Chains A and B, each alone.
Chain A
Amino acid sequence: MKELLIENLHVEVENKEILKGIDLTLKPGQTLAILGPNGHGKSTLFNALMGNPKYKITQGKIILDGEDITNLSVDERSKKGLFLAMQNPCEVPGVINAEFLRSALNARKEKPVSLYQFYKLLDNATKKLNMPFDLANRNLNEGFSGGEKKRNEILQMLILNPDICMLDEIDSGLDVDAINDVSNAIKSLQDGNHCFMVISHYARLFNLINPTDAIIIVNGKIVLKGDSSLINRVDKEGYEFIKSEYGIEIEKSTEKSMNQVSIGVCATKEMSKNIHEK
């Protein structure tokens, strides 16, 4: 059972400050809903907590169970109990899902799990998520549908059993049945020993997993803290009340322009006899 303390966290991405002083405490048993308009720092918070090198912490601390983990490597944070279910899980060609999961599980064990134990764990987790077992034998996320990728993130969460689960838009791309499966998996870990931080734009998932608390992040800061009633208000009214009631102007998120890329074909020639004869 671990407590996470975030103190005055400032984070930059490509020299632009995104988070401008986040203070947050998360205790075991808590499920925190994180709300906010697009591009205001919700995913940045998760990436910074997980140690993604693209997100630079310029001020502040992350304390896990009394230990300062601000400068810890990504894998060490994971082994200490942090888990990030990503918004866009990447496809890693050639890496077999099950082999990767077994390596990840063994990385946090003193004694490696036996093949039998691992397959039992995997079998239980795939059944809980109504996932076909053969997804585990395919390349990691390669060719998976959006929904399969999200289920695969939750599968990893169930097997690795982390203390602090950060779920970044885990409901996007899921059909109704899949949302139920994912929420049931989350609920199975809402046992007082784990804590959750969940980003979503939709009340449906939150209604299923019953968050204990909710925050709204705007302009890189937590502008409002409250209970789950905040979720329903945002669902009904959007974020306009932030401005009208609290006088906070919501900055427009600036979409990054595409990198300039040139695509060309080099000396490819295909000609069949039929084409030639014409």
Chain B
Amino acid sequence: MDLENQRRIKEFAEQYGSEDFILVLGGGEAEASGLAAETVSVGDPTFAGPLAGVSLGLKAYHIFELKDEIDPAVYEEQISMMEMVLDVDAIMQEVATYRG
């Protein structure tokens, strides 16, 4: 995960706590999305960024998992095209792995 994003997420978590704070991912690929979810839950597995060794315990969801929470018209306009393009099941399964 991008080092700058790690820094910002760390700051937000410190500011708002991890109880009512979730991370919404929009990645186009299962492995990269899983890596992001892992980084914000147990820490940066590449030990490169501010979240190296920092376990924030944040829950990450991919936007595909939140379909039912979103206004169908907005989802249709913003997300439905990519639903046809990407491997939705693989992404959702990978991201869910890191929510314990």
Do A and B originate from a single complex?
A: no
Binding site for B on A (CB under 8 A): none
Binding site for A on B (CB under 8 A): none
